[in-house]
Chain A
Amino acid sequence: MPTKVEMLKLAETPPRTIGRSLLLTLPIALWSLLMFANPQRHPNRSMQIAGMITAVFMIALFFMMMRTRSTYRWRRWFFVALGILFPVGFIHTVIAMRGTMGLPIEEMIAGRTPFCYMPIPLLILPAAFTKSLVFPGSISGMAGMAGLWLAVTLVVGKGWCSYACFFGGIEEGMASVSPRAKVRKIDPRWRYGPWAVLLAMVLLSLALFEPAYCMWLCPFKAVSEYVAARNTVGMVQNGIFIVLFAGLVIALPLLTKKRTQCAFFCPFGAFQSIFNKTSVFDVKIDRARCSPCVLCKTACPTMSLTDESIAKGETLMSCMKCGACVDACPKNAVVWHIKGTEIANKPERARLMFLYAAWAMAVMFGGSIITEGLGTILHVFV
């Protein structure tokens, strides 16, 4: 039985040539330049510079993905940058608009609450019963975000959580800080947490006629826009946001090296799991090559691989297609896959097809957010 290190060495595959890697990067490079390199698109010099930096950043990461055939470690740079820079740009925008990070009732009544994708599953039942959207935002804002989310989700499924979600990056960064997990034994039943939060929040949203998750449980309120507390209840709500953020996004990822908020709490992630069934892309395990050393199981940041699922040659439906398991496998047994094709049939081609779709979306959606955050910081100096 080879050691882990030996197996990892076995896994080393020769890198692509620079010329071939550049050729494969060309479509993404053109897309990135189209998105960010046009000076007319940006209102000021700092944003123009930020756009250029973003374009180079996204192209460079994709090039490295092509060159090294590794996905996770390069994607992670993008994702962490997205997670850190989103609050920077967002907080700056809300302060510029209303002078505070707090969301006052007047803004809600005026329908000016910014809409993120998190409440989407919470709005469905109230809308079905009452033909009303229980979110105090503008219809155009909600429709735009929901349309973008749906288009992306139908293609990449829960890949949204690894290539578009602007909340997951902070915890992924935290999970990368520590070289080794301090807490290794986690009860697998915590994996059901997101479904429980989803069930409870959907039912409470219908009963209370408000997006209950946004009102009570969203950890990212701590770094986006909190409740403009005018009484004890508002303070309690903000306290909950801060405690959840500190626990699920900072402390637990540091201790476990897992994306604990995504894996054990996020109701949108549970909802998104359903769309893994509609996506043509998934991750499979080639049983003919698998040892099984369970390195993939250890590497998975959301505990989406179990001994049973590995034996079946597939991931659980909570798989976010981040690529950690594919990169970790020393025998290249964990592969990207297009549904309806043979597992062993050119997995690199499946990876490329997935990455073109996912990265094009990442450039458009995440790249814009990175530019916004970067532009905000640069505005101080330029």
Chain B
Amino acid sequence: MSRLLPGCQRYAAGQFFVGMQRRPTPFDFSRTPFIDPKPAHTSLTGSPPNAKFAVMSVPFIFGEALALGLASGPACMASCGPVLVPSLLAERAGLRLNTRYLSAFLGARFLGYLLFATVAWALGVLISLPSAPRMLLFGVVHVLLAGVLLWYAYSAGRTCARSCASSELVSIGVTKKRGVPGAAALGFLTGVSLCPPFVAAGVRAAGLGSMAAALLFFAVFFVGTSVWFVPFVGLGCVARNEAVTTVARMAMVLIALYYAYLGFAMLIGRKVYAY
């Protein structure tokens, strides 16, 4: 691995941070594949190899997770956009309300990330989930996503029919009810979907020494990707009227149909492309 990242090898050889003591860290990063312990034994300093690696690798790995998140952000945005944009537009206008919606969405998405990472780590399948359970899992996730979107579209219609009063699902803008089930459900389901940036982070996190380290990696990665979602708050400035709400609801139905197709195709083990 050190051949892949020569910069890491330089750190591992202790050329810059000679003689630093190992600090107690809650996470063990000594098994990170970025740092090959073997060359460290030949270090000129003669100090225990893992001490320096751990000290050096913590900020490095978190920096890497952040950078990976920031770099993957557009792909995350593209992946979650079909769910997030119409559902945000179906909500009421206002920066504050949209910020709350987005917070709920991202919070639940974060939980989805962590849950997926935890389970996948525990099962030892973070890098490569076997085909059959993967198809089953993502088939179910897509069908659920389609179901929630359809329900959301229906609820948004009811909401508007009652002068934007609350309904059981779309309740972001209601002051009395602070429930956020719609945003949370969509956020969670997009969190457990296997989008390409998530796979990239999973491959990297799988090489870390412990589950806690992997989860922390995911958390920092998530922060990096979430920066790209901030502009979505700006949709709160779009004036809401019957036209915007109807367009958002119709778009949600179309997207839901596509997800339903994907989900069912995965569940019955069919290819999702014609070629």
Contacts and interface: CB of A to CB of B under 8 A. Distances in A.
A203 B74 contact: no
B250 A204 contact: no
Given A204-B255, A204-B258, A233 B82 contact: no
A105 B258 CA distance: 22
Question: Which of A108, A193, A195, A196 has most B Cβ within 10 Å?
Answer: A196
A207 B78 contact: yes
A48 interface: no
Contacts of A203: 81-82, 85-86, 251, 255
Interface string A223-254: 00001011111101100000000000000000
A126 B247 CA distance: 22
Nearest to B86: A199
B81 A233 contact: no
A197 interface: yes
A206 interface: yes
Interface residues of A, number: 31
Contacts of B248: 196, 199
Contacts of B261: 236
Contacts of B81: 203, 206-207
B47 interface: no
Given A196-B251, A203-B255, A233 B78 contact: no
Contacts of A229: 274
A189 interface: yes
Contacts of A233: 265, 270-274
Nearest to A210: B273
A192 B258 contact: no
B243 interface: yes
A129 interface: yes
A23 interface: no
Contact of B247 (A199, A230, A236): A199
B253 to A, nearest CB: 8
A230 B246 contact: no
Interface in A177-206: 189, 192-193, 195-197, 199-201, 203-204, 206
A365 interface: no
B58 interface: no
A209 B265 CA distance: 19
A207 B193 CA distance: 13
20 contacts: A125-B78, A126-B78, A129-B78, A192-B246, A192-B250, A195-B243, A199-B89, A200-B86, A200-B251, A203-B81, A203-B85, A204-B82, A206-B78, A206-B81, A207-B82, A209-B78, A212-B258, A233-B270, A233-B273, A236-B261
